[in-house]
Structures are given as structure tokens and as C-alpha cells.
């Protein structure tokens, strides 16, 4: 009898100990079932097990992450069906009826870091769930280890596949010759001429297509390290030749030309632009690094009659990292709306982790298969992505507490 009493006393003490410990543990470590009779050597009725389990489960459920809710289409209108062939009048884009059009969308990260991520489902998600009227396909010419130059056929075919997805979805698509590490576009000019000749021959009759012929010219001139790349000595001569190649196959679609200093010096380009129709000039900004002085550059270009297209902007520092500056981003977005400037946000996300990424691409919130299926839940979208998605859909952005 005394032995049984000692056993029962020990059991009660252990129960109290575990009860106190469980209140200190995070919710995911709290047991949701009671110990079995084999573990306790004490008879526990089925009714008491059910009651205890229900209480513990209810307590745990209140602490768990919210259920993943996948997005659904919010936009059903096909933007290309509505607007048709775009062209440039003055500083603005207009549709085939002469109405002003402001395109808004997302840029991919470098496609060599997003293999198979851009597919029918993700393109549909960007167009219908996020409201993108344009998608920019950033094809790095030279990366840290890969790109079009060392693997031209691989990335030519990838570009063709991705452009076709956008055409099938009824959105506009920017074919971006994404120079960056090779800052002078003339370094691989022959390859650019070949690429744009082939791609314009294939897609020149489609109103969806927009060409961006040099992403961010920067650094030293190719073959002349004593000179810095600028509009007159490097970019303009390169652009003249590439535009001629495209126009031989495609006389109508818009061509966007990069500008000096990582596509920031549109004011410089406005002093001596190329002759020709449906040509635009790109400027890039990152809200955490570029402010009113850069808007002044754009305003100067507009005042000089230069049509501009912001093919890349970010909510963060120009490194792609740092704070998500929604306040400065709104100043830029208001400025672009006032001037009907089209834009693409950098970026959907890729194999690297940047705070400018719209998606938590490297997270394990979703399986790789779920990531590629699109319709991403809010838990998979970054603060920057939630903000930009609201801007695309014309919704008010309410920051999470």
C-alpha cells in the first residue's frame, strides 16, 4: 500500500513538473496528446484522454501560423487585346486608339537563376493575380559564372520560351539584354546584333514585344580603360547599330535604350537622342538610394521631349538590400503616375536573397513545386512584394504591424 502511495505521489509530482514546463515552451513544442497508460503505469479513461487532447489542441491551434491562402485572379482583361500595337507620341506610350497607356509590371531576376520558375502558372499569376500589364525578362549577358555569352543557344531558347508564355497570356513583354558586369555594351556588340536579329525576326509581328537593348551601361569603355562609358562615346553608337538590325525585321514595336551610369543619366541622352520612331530611354532607381536629384534628371529629360520608361526600380538600396523604403517609393510612384511613365519593379526574386525581392524565393514556406505553381500566399511574399502588388492592383498598402 505504501509502495502504491509513493508511486502515485511521484506521478503527481512529475505531472506538475511537466505542466509548468509546458507553459514555458513555445507552442510548437507542447505535446498535443497525453502520455499513454504504458508510459505512466496509471489507468486513464478514454473520456479523460479526449477532453485533455481537445483542450491542448485548442490551445495550440491559437498559437500556430495562419493557414496558407493561395491567391486568385483579380484581373481578367487581357491587356494586349485591349490596347493592341503600342507606339510613342511625344514622351508617352499610346495604344492603337491613341489613348495614353502606362504599363506596370515586374521584372524577373536573372533568368539563369530562375530556371523553370517562369512558367505558364507564374506568368498567369503575375498577370491576373498581381495585375501586371508587362513582364520584363532579364537575360544576363555575363554573370558571375553563367549568362548568354558563354551559353547563347541555351538562353536564346529560354528567352523564346518565356516570351511565348507572355504572348499566350496576353501581356506585354520586355526582352532585356541585361548587361551589368560587362558595362560597355560594345564589349559584346556582335552577339547583341545576332541575338536581336534572330529574336526580332521571330517576334517582330507580335504587338506584345518590347526590346530593351542594354540594361545598365557603366564603368570603363571596352578597349579604352581611360574613358568612362557615356552616351556619346559608347551607348549612342551601339544603339544606332542595334536599332537598325531590329528595324529591319520589326518596324513598329518599341525599343528601349539604356543610359549612362547604370541607366540614370537620361538627361544626358536627351541632349542628343537617336532619330527614329517608337524609341524610348530607360532610367533606373532604388528608393533607398535615389531621391529628388534623380527625379530632377528625369524631369529634365521629359522637358527636353525624351520619352522615358523605368524598366527597373526597387524599394531598397541600390544594392538590392537594406530597408524597404515605402515612403520614398511612393514619391517616385506618384511622380511616374503624374507623367504616365511605365515601370517594372525589381524583382520577382531569384536564387539570391535580396530585400528587394517580391517573393521569399529561398524560404521553405512552400515546396519547390508549390513555388512554381504560382498563386502565392501572402506568407510567401515579402514586405516589398506586398507593397508592390498593392501598387499594381491599385490598392491601398497597409503595412503589417
Q: Which of 128, 212, 216, 268 is catalytic?
A: 216
CA atoms within 13 A on the CB side of 308: 31
User: What distance in Å separates the CA atoms of residue 377 and residue 68, rounded to the nearest whole number?
Assistant: 6
396 alpha-carbon distance from chain centroid: 20
> Is 216 considered catalytic here?
yes
H-only helix segments in 28-75? 37-40, 46-61
Q: Which of 187, 212, 268, 312 is catalytic?
A: 312
- Sort 72 into a burial class: Cβ within 10 Å, 0-12 / 13-18 / 19+: exposed
Please identify which residue in the block is written with the cell numbers 559608347. 234
Dihedral angle over CA of 175, 307, 345, 82, nearest 10: -70
H-only helix segments in 215-275? 236-249, 260-263, 266-269
H or E segment to which residue 5 belongs: helix 2-24
> Is 65 considered catalytic here?
no
In eight-state DSSP terms, residue 381 is B
Query: Cβ neighbours of residue 341 under 8 Å, at least 6 residues apart?
Result: 102, 298, 308, 309, 310, 335
Candidates 388, 360, 373; CA nearest to 122 is 373
Helix 236-249 crosses helix 189-203 at what angle (to 10 degrees)? 30
**β 100-101/92-94 pair status:** antiparallel
Centre a 10 Å sphere on the Cβ of residue 39 and count the other Cβ atoms it contains: 8
H-only helix segments in 256-355? 260-263, 266-269, 292-303, 326-338
The residues that are catalytic are 216, 312
Amino acid at each position: 500500500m505504501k509502495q502504491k502511495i509513493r508511486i502515485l505521489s511521484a506521478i503527481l509530482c512529475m505531472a506538475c513538473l511537466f505542466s509548468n514546463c509546458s507553459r514555458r515552451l513555445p507552442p510548437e513544442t507542447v505535446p498535443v496528446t497525453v502520455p499513454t497508460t504504458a508510459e505512466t503505469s496509471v489507468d486513464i479513461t478514454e473520456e479523460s484522454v479526449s477532453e485533455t487532447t481537445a483542450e491542448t489542441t485548442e490551445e495550440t491551434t491559437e498559437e500556430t501560423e495562419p493557414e496558407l491562402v493561395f491567391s486568385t485572379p483579380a484581373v481578367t482583361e487581357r491587356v494586349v487585346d485591349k490596347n493592341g500595337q503600342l507606339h510613342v507620341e511625344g514622351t508617352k506610350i499610346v495604344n492603337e486608339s491613341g489613348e495614353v497607356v502606362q504599363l506596370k509590371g515586374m521584372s524577373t531576376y536573372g533568368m539563369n537563376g530562375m530556371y523553370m520558375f517562369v512558367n505558364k502558372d507564374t506568368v498567369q499569376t503575375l498577370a491576373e493575380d498581381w495585375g501586371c500589364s508587362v513582364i520584363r525578362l532579364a537575360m544576363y549577358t555575363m554573370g558571375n559564372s553563367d549568362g548568354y555569352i558563354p551559353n547563347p543557344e541555351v538562353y536564346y531558347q529560354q528567352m523564346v520560351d518565356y516570351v511565348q508564355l507572355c504572348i499566350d497570356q496576353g501581356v506585354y513583354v520586355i526582352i532585356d539584354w541585361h548587361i551589368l558586369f560587362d558595362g560597355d555594351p560594345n564589349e559584346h556588340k556582335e552577339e547583341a546584333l545576332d541575338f536581336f536579329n534572330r529574336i526580332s525576326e521571330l517576334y517582330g509581328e507580335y504587338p506584345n514585344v518590347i526590346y530593351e537593348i542594354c540594361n545598365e551601361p557603366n564603368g570603363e569603355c571596352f578597349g579604352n580603360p581611360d574613358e568612362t562609358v557615356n552616351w556619346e562615346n559608347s551607348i549612342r553608337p551601339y544603339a544606332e547599330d542595334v536599332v537598325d538590325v531590329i528595324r529591319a525585321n520589326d518596324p513598329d514595336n518599341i525599343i528601349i535604350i539604356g543610359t549612362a551610369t547604370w541607366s540614370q543619366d537620361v538627361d544626358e541622352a536627351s541632349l542628343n537622342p537617336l532619330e527614329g520612331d517608337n524609341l524610348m530611354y530607360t532610367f533606373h532607381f532604388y528608393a533607398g538610394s535615389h531621391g529628388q536629384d534623380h527625379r530632377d534628371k528625369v524631369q529634365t529629360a521629359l522637358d527636353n521631349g525624351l520619352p522615358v520608361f523605368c524598366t527597373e526600380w526597387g524599394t531598397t538600396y541600390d544594392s538590392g538590400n537594406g530597408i524597404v523604403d515605402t515612403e520614398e517609393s511612393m514619391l517616385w510612384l506618384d511622380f511616374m503616375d503624374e507623367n504616365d511613365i511605365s515601370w517594372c519593379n525589381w524583382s520577382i526574386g531569384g536564387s539570391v536573397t535580396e530585400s528587394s525581392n517580391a517573393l521569399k524565393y529561398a524560404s521553405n514556406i512552400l515546396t519547390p513545386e508549390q513555388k512554381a505553381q504560382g498563386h502565392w500566399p501572402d506568407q510567401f511574399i515579402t514586405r516589398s512584394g506586398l507593397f508592390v502588388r498593392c501598387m499594381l492592383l491599385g490598392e491601398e498598402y497597409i503595412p503589417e504591424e
